[in-house]
Amino acid sequence: MFPAIFFGASHLLNLTVNDNVTQVIGQSIYAIFIGFFFGVVLLKTNKLIPLAITHGLINFFFLFGLLPSLSVNKESAVTMTHLEQLKSAAAPLLVFIPLFFVGLILLRKINKDDVQKKIKWREI
């Protein structure tokens, strides 16, 4: 869980280039959820390909606006209330919260002894 929190916190660096604090905090929360999911999938499969495909699909769908947007135009952000900005930032949670719960389910099915053996084998 700590790597996922670190992954989310690293997205706070976007505050240096983005004035919309609500958007950046939302992006950090989504990064924590997706980082947790990615970590569990890596432990379960021991492969990066599923992670790369999932990450690519998420970026693809956001790029073409097929998922609720994380961005708000500067012009519309000026006229939007804080509640409207929060609603806009909360929409992607419909995508990321289910992935978080899938990660929790997968985490319960992971044999921790097998993971420890893989880690020790790679250290040798």
**Residue 94 vs residue 65, higher pLDDT:** 94
For residue 82, what pLDDT band results from cuts at 50, 70 and 90?
A: low
Provide the pLDDT for residue 19: 77
Burial 32-46, CB ≥16 within 10 A → b, else e: bbbbbbbbbbebbee
Provide the pLDDT for residue 7: 87
Provide the pLDDT for residue 57: 83
DSSP structure class, residue 2: H
